[in-house]
Amino acid sequence: MKILFLGDIVGNSGCKAIKENLPNIIKKKKIDFVIVNGENAAQDGMGITENNTNELLNSGIDVITTGNHVWDQKETYELISRQKRLLRPLNLPNNTPGKGFEIYNSQKGFKIGVLNLMGNIFMKKCDDVFKITNQFLEKNRLGDKYDFLIVDFHGEITSEKMAVGHIFNGRATLVVGTHTHVPTNDGRILNKGTAYLTDAGMCGDYNSVIGMNTENSINKFNKKNSVKHFPSEGEASICGVIVEGNTENGLAINLSSFIFGGDLKNIE
């Protein structure tokens, strides 16, 4: 069972790269299920629209996760209540629209649980991610309602992500970080069989500052002549990981990084 997870899609450049390349990637790599973080898919890099969602799902993506930018487009409040393939972090306050966890059927008939969490440190205020993780694991078990579990941990700092990775060790197929837009090189299978990577990187133009226009970003840091952030429009690199799951126990057999196109190259 091969599951492709891709990091934050940024702006038109990221969406275009997915639309043009994902169907071939799925075929060539024999991918069974695709999850992507879409929190920056909108034209201005903030949030995700219904059009973005439909285009991404039509390109072969099965589930879209999000993060701190989930509500940047107003239409998402209504969309997320009826679009089950679009998730928001589970640890948002009670009564928040949408879901942070759902179980989906793969084409081969496996049940894939997808859990979206958000970190607490240097992030928007949300419920304690460790408390919510422990509550989730008390109620849910790999091999019961789902055959595989993929966790998107949307967070800023590496230690928080890694700690949550270890909590899920032996209880998830993959724990992968998103949000920083920079891929890390620490992908591995933990000692109880869960694949882990601190950050998947982004699907966006790397000739930028985390996907946004370089000059404008530098001006912002220099506190001069900046306008609202806007995405860089060059060719995107599609960035993420492929996890091969064991159909007997839902744990990981193999984890490989995946980088395609644009400025970023896979280091072999």
Residue ranges that bind Fe ion, judged by CB under 5 A: 8, 39-40, 67-68, 179
Instruction: Determine which one of 69, 154, 179, 181 is catalytic.
Output: 69
Min. distance of Cβ 102 from Fe ion in angstroms? 20
Task: Tell me how far apart the alpha carbons of residues 206 and 202 are, in angstroms, rounded to a whole number.
Answer: 8
Residue with Cβ nearer Fe ion (17 or 252) = 17
Min. distance of Cβ 80 from Fe ion in angstroms? 16
Under 8 Å CB-to-CB from 223, ≥6 apart: which residues? Answer: none
Residue nearest to Fe ion (CB): 8
Q: For residues 100 and 135, is the Cβ–Cβ distance under 8 A?
A: no
181: left (phi over 0), alpha (psi -120 to 50) or beta: left
Residue with Cβ nearer Fe ion (45 or 245) = 45
69 is catalytic: yes
Min. distance of Cβ 68 from Fe ion in angstroms? 4
Residue with Cβ nearer Fe ion (64 or 190) = 64
Under 8 Å CB-to-CB from 65, ≥6 apart: which residues? Answer: 35, 36, 37, 38, 39, 87, 114, 116, 152, 154, 178
Q: For residues 65 and 154, is the Cβ–Cβ distance under 8 A?
A: yes
Min. distance of Cβ 247 from Fe ion in angstroms? 32
Q: How far is CA 173 from CA 3, 114, 131, 165, 197, in A?
A: 10, 10, 21, 11, 12
Residue with Cβ nearer Fe ion (164 or 251) = 164
CB atoms within 10 A of CB 195: 28
Active-site residues, by number, are: 69
